[in-house]
Structure 1
Amino acid sequence: MSPSLIQDAPQNVKVAAVVSFYMTSALIMVFVNKAVLNAAPDLPLLYLGIQLIIAVILLHGASFMSTKVQIPKLDAHTAKKLTPVVTVNIVGLVFNTLCLRGVEASFFQIARGMVLPLTIGVSCIHTHARPSGRVFIAAGIVTLGFLTGISPNKDLPASASPSVISLIYGMLSSLFIAVHAVLIKSSLPYCNNSTIELAYWTNLGSTVMVAPFILLNGELGTFVDLTRTPEWDGRTFAYGTLTTGVFGFLLCVAGLLSIKITSPITHMFSSAARSVLQTVLGVWLFSDILTVNRATSILVICGGTMYYTWVKNTENAAPKAPHAQNLDDGGDEEAHRLTTILEMKDEADEETVTLGHWSDSRKALDKA
């Protein structure tokens, strides 16, 4: 989708095109990820590592096509300073991958439903600022939806019930997403305040960090053994890895276009629609089981997140005194922009991060 074509199109066409592009990219990421993990459940770290390598290659390719994309010079001092944010990023991605491997595609959004409450909590602790009562209500609604979705159900077959360890992976993934959003601001100065440079460092550093664990986990040997097994569908792994690597990159573009072209309310409605589509497609493609509890959980989580969107949109629009500091408005625009870019890769996270910083992100993008 060319940015020049979007710029020349009428506004409603722009919005429809961007929303469709964003939803398609996000859905492809979830379902292709799930298909690959089903085909190669013993290769989660190798799969993740290859995706990260593809992201680094695509950033190099983008630098040849546009002068706005600058690849940073690698040095030990910067690498040391960026170790915390890179570590949190790769640990969060690993837990995210392990969670998706262990749960049904339609349940994945429930398993990671605590992203919003945890992000609010971590931001509150980091900034020493108390969010408004309405933000607490939104977090409470989402938490209620999460608890509804994971509550035991006697009618659910044992094979469809998520394991405790998968739910723990989902919680840890959500927590590391929240911490990652906080670390981004302090990391930017070490990258010349460049979102592209930090994105490059994050992907390259994550690749280096995950490599030893791929070896320790014996995944290279497992991969070689699988290639010698006639029954193994290696094409799903190969094509799926390439597809998710490319679409993960495109999802960043889709997220930025969504911020630049649409309003936060439009974005949230498209996200809610995507959640419904993800559930329906999960039932259709993978024969996932949809119970009343799960359907209710998804609706409540979407409702709480949409309420949070409305609250933050209202609070950001309200005039503030120069000394007033809002929970989500304390960072610089580059931090908000990078938070959006990096979290868009993780198909289910963008509602939390984008909503709180939408206005600042749009300003940053308009200047770009």
Structure 2
Amino acid sequence: MVVEPGLVSQYIHIALVVATYWIVSILTVFVNKALLSSNEVNLDAPLFVTWFQCVVSALICTTWSKLAKFFPHRISFPEGHPYCMDVVRKVLPLSVLFTFMIASNNLCLKYVGVAFYYLGRSLTTVFNVVLSYSILGQRTSFGCILCSGIIIGGFWLGVDQENVAGSLSVVGTIFGILGSLSVSLYSIYTKRVLPLVNQEIWLLSYYNNVYSVFLFLPLMLVNGEFSVVYNYSKLSEPFFWTVMVIGGLCGFAIGSVTVLQIKVTSPLTHNISGTAKACAQTVMATYWFNEHKPLLWWLSNFIVLGGSAGYARIKQLDMETAHHSQKYTQLRA
């Protein structure tokens, strides 16, 4: 069988995008872990670290937006003004969820190991089922509910194994559950806000990061992080700011490559890629941090991974069935 050169280049392009997503996503988790709880950084200010990443992303988006005005034929960026009161009124509630989401995810990573991080945040799918029904009134098929039950079982087993090993962080697990809840809520309300910004994902990301820069300030004040940062002994060291900037760039990059991977593949392929990436990330973390996990701990991860992959596949089949049914109804009408 002869493969056309155009298809070969397309496959290579898709493979490069998926590989980039894997590298950036795994690198982001490891860099954030180093920033949040490593002895080299040793800064007990997780909200400040997250705030700085929002600052970097907001600066990149602002610069990109300005350059698009000066070089419209070479650089494109959707037109928008984050400081317009009408925009603030429409987007700010979603930005509050965005702030809660990235804060809870980083707080989870601060208190749990990278190996347990995926498992600790694995209930997003379960919350999607519950909230889609309670907020949007969308019913879920029995297959998706069954997969959600499998994910809960795997999560419960993983938490139990962490507890048996004496490495369970209750605080980190709670933040992981809150992170899963916030991701689900953010996804649902994003669907409502996107039409208000002409379906421009980059514009919404721009607004969210700009508003989060301000939303994090009172949170850092309440958490006492201003004094922690002020008295931090490595505040003037180039190494610290280098790692902070890398973390900020990774935070911006993961949003970019996620959108790109969905664009060149599909939402289902993105979910499968993310699931496989999580498996590789877990294996890498146990090797990198020299962690030895029992068989049941590994089993809990594979249960969650299998449940998540099964949910994605069944959800796709349900959507295809609904689409064909709607098309058939329209033809008969």
Fold-level similarity (TM above 0.5): yes
Pair 1:148–1:70, CA change in 2 (3 A)? same
- Aligned identity (percent) is 25
| 1:1-150 mapped onto 2 (5 Å cutoff) | 10-38=9-37, 39-63=41-65, 64-65=67-68, 66-150=75-159
Q: Secondary structure at the match of 1:162?
A: coil
Any conservation in 1 of the 2:82–2:88 contact (CA below 8 Å)?
no
2:278 alignment partner in structure 1 = 275
Q: Aligned letter for 2:42?
A: A
Deviation string for 1:214-245 (max 9, x for gaps)?
233332322232236xxx99555422221121
| Consecutive unaligned residues in structure 1, runs of 5 or more | 1-6, 325-368
1:204 alignment partner in structure 2 = 210
1:327 alignment partner in structure 2 = none
Aligned positions, number:
312
Please say if 1:299 is aligned against 2:305: no
Any conservation in 1 of the 2:78–2:200 contact (CA below 8 Å)?
no
Q: Secondary structure at the match of 2:115?
A: coil
* TM-score, structure 2 as length reference: 0.85
* TM-score, structure 1 as length reference: 0.77
Once the two structures are TM-superposed, the CA of residue 127 in structure 1 deviates from its matched residue by: 1.8
Once the two structures are TM-superposed, the CA of residue 268 in structure 1 deviates from its matched residue by: 4.1
Once the two structures are TM-superposed, the CA of residue 87 in structure 1 deviates from its matched residue by: 1.0
Q: Aligned letter for 1:46?
A: F
2:241 alignment partner in structure 1 = 238
Any conservation in 2 of the 1:72–1:197 contact (CA below 8 Å)?
no
4+ residue runs over 4 A deviation: 152-155, 232-236, 263-266
Once the two structures are TM-superposed, the CA of residue 168 in structure 1 deviates from its matched residue by: 0.9
1:175 alignment partner in structure 2 = 181
Instruction: Please tell me the root mean square deviation across aligned C-alpha atoms, in Å.
Output: 2.5
Q: Aligned letter for 1:42?
A: D
Instruction: Name which of 255, 264, 280 aligns with 2:258.
Output: 255
| Consecutive unaligned residues in structure 2, runs of 5 or more | 1-5, 69-74
Instruction: Name which of 306, 309, 312 aligns with 1:309.
Output: 312
Instruction: Name which of 181, 190, 209 aligns with 1:184.
Output: 190
Any conservation in 2 of the 1:35–1:236 contact (CA below 8 Å)?
no
Pair 1:154–1:251, CA change in 2 (3 A)? closer
Please say if 1:220 is aligned against 2:220: no
Q: Aligned letter for 2:320?
A: A
Once the two structures are TM-superposed, the CA of residue 58 in structure 1 deviates from its matched residue by: 1.0
Any conservation in 2 of the 1:36–1:236 contact (CA below 8 Å)?
no
After TM superposition, the structure 1 stretch with the greater mean CA deviation from structure 2, 33-42 or 19-28, is 33-42
Q: Secondary structure at the match of 2:258?
A: helix
CA distance in 2, matches of 1:218, 1:79: 27
Once the two structures are TM-superposed, the CA of residue 209 in structure 1 deviates from its matched residue by: 0.6
Any conservation in 2 of the 1:33–1:244 contact (CA below 8 Å)?
yes
Q: Aligned letter for 2:225?
A: E
Q: Aligned letter for 1:47?
A: V
Q: Aligned letter for 1:21?
A: T
Higher CA-based Rg: 2
Any conservation in 2 of the 1:71–1:196 contact (CA below 8 Å)?
no
Any conservation in 2 of the 1:69–1:196 contact (CA below 8 Å)?
yes
Q: Secondary structure at the match of 2:180?
A: helix
